[in-house]
Structure 1
């Protein structure tokens, strides 16, 4: 039966409420049904922002580390071919015989042909590296690979470079080919906002562009990144753009560990927010932000919202 015009003009939530009497707050819960995807497809999370140097690649690794530790099969996709951030982290040019996105053939349901087992690198999650220098892979191949990968892994984290608001409808860019169509269909995007005049401006310009391009509010996550030395802080009101997931505090110790290519270290300045991101992205999988929040910090961690 054809849907009446009143249903087509409304939201997914209103349609479900009218036809089935079900109040669904999260578009992701019906994404597989509407798009004909397999029921067991995994969650896809894009990590990007409007600026460089805000911790996108480190955040992507740490999310996969924690998810894998909780028994969630995870894949980290390096979708930053210009910098090859993950490739450099795990060995750079010495990785001569690893699989990259260019080793996977579009149409091949076996996404493992473009991935590497994490145990080779001493991690519990698997990895897909960006192509080697000089090789070009269209964003459409990344999109097809991610669709295939979500059928094998329960959690796919895509580490992107910075994206621009003007590129959100340009299918020749990562923003237009990956972020816009995927998030509109119910996938997730995490935007780190590093406090600072330029980095905040870039991030807010990007977040403000999301609604104009149809990215649903419930599929956008925002975490703030506080530079070393910044203690007093109250988060902005990100409600018009997405779900606020807390503020990470950078530290000298964390910078030292990153420089040493450390993985999965305990850090009370970072772990509570990571847990909250995962509880948002992977509900009912056992992630509990409260376990990382000492009583004296519970109020200050999320803080008061300011306009």
Structure 2
């Protein structure tokens, strides 16, 4: 049987929840464990990965599908532990769904993990085959060919929008929900989150911004040093195909 790398979409129901930061941190953590990892920018037009990594050239639109690897920005240029496939700069291209689908399929045999930084999802997008959510993510999730990590806000419209999107996706065995909360906010208890997300997703933990994560972004670091990933990120990496021995919990007293 030919090797096919697992595919994981990183998405959410609202903007501003750190989806791109999360996708980058997962790809970096997997790459630090010697897994050949590709991060795909699945948000055409926004291009946040290209901007963060200061990549000026190349992109999916320049790739020949019979040699997609030639369009990859390799780790020596991303200055991270993963290769990047930047998405098309034009979000109005008529062939986006086919372009992304073909690229993901072409990359799977040659790497160990494919992480896709995707745009947000809502019920309308999920049910529209011409969108990234409905045309790329949904077929792969529904057919069991990919998994999803869903970033959900802790309160207000970000929570409501997230739950609405998760209900529309309705694939609780293939979706991992991670709650995002601000540095000064008091997180909802884990037990409450498990109860809220149980009908629509697996529970992956709480990502709370702190001084370390803020400093990481300010310094332009793609992710945490190996062994210093917080618990929610280690869980996400396992969900995305990481090896269990690489993400075992650290003993008490060691820095997380």
Common topology (TM > 0.5): yes
Cα displacement (A) at 1:210: 1.3
Distance 2:62 2:24 in 1: 22
Q: Is residue 46 of structure 2 the alignment partner of residue 89 of structure 1?
A: no
Q: CA RMSD in A?
A: 2.6
- Residue 136 of structure 2 corresponds to 178
- Residue 151 of structure 2 corresponds to 192
5 Å matches for 1:35-74?
Answer: 39-74=2-37
Q: Deviations over 1:197-253 (max 9, x none)?
A: 111111111011112xxxx32211111112121235313222211210111111244
Distance 2:6 2:187 in 1: 35
Contact 2:30 2:242 in 1 (8 A): no
Cα displacement (A) at 1:163: 1.9
- Residue 185 of structure 2 corresponds to 230
Q: Which one of 93, 100, 103 corresponds to residue 145 of structure 1?
A: 103
- Residue 258 of structure 1 corresponds to 217
- Residue 155 of structure 1 corresponds to 113
TM-score by length of 2: 0.88
Q: Which one of 89, 92, 95 corresponds to residue 132 of structure 1?
A: 89
Give the count of matched residue pairs. 250
Distance 2:32 2:228 in 1: 19
Contact 1:49 1:193 in 2 (8 A): yes
**Gapped regions of structure 1 (runs ≥ 5):** 1-37, 296-307
Contact 1:100 1:130 in 2 (8 A): yes
Cα displacement (A) at 1:176: 0.8
Mark the CA change 1:40 to 1:269 in structure 2 (over 3 Å): closer, same or farther.
closer
- Residue 76 of structure 2 corresponds to 119
TM-score by length of 1: 0.74
Distance 1:175 1:208 in 2: 14
- Residue 5 of structure 1 corresponds to none
Distance 1:290 1:180 in 2: 33
Mark the CA change 1:220 to 1:67 in structure 2 (over 3 Å): closer, same or farther.
same
Higher relative contact order (CA 8 A, sep 6+): 2
- Residue 9 of structure 1 corresponds to none
Between stretches 65-74 and 117-126, larger displacement belongs to: 117-126
Distance 2:226 2:6 in 1: 25
Contact 2:41 2:85 in 1 (8 A): yes
1:48 counterpart SS class: strand
Contact 2:29 2:81 in 1 (8 A): no
Contact 2:46 2:89 in 1 (8 A): no
Contact 1:273 1:289 in 2 (8 A): no
Cα displacement (A) at 1:140: 1.3
Contact 1:80 1:130 in 2 (8 A): yes
Q: Which one of 173, 181, 195 corresponds to residue 218 of structure 1?
A: 173
Contact 2:181 2:187 in 1 (8 A): no
Cα displacement (A) at 1:194: 2.1
Q: Highest Rg: 1 or 2?
A: 1
Contact 1:194 1:227 in 2 (8 A): no
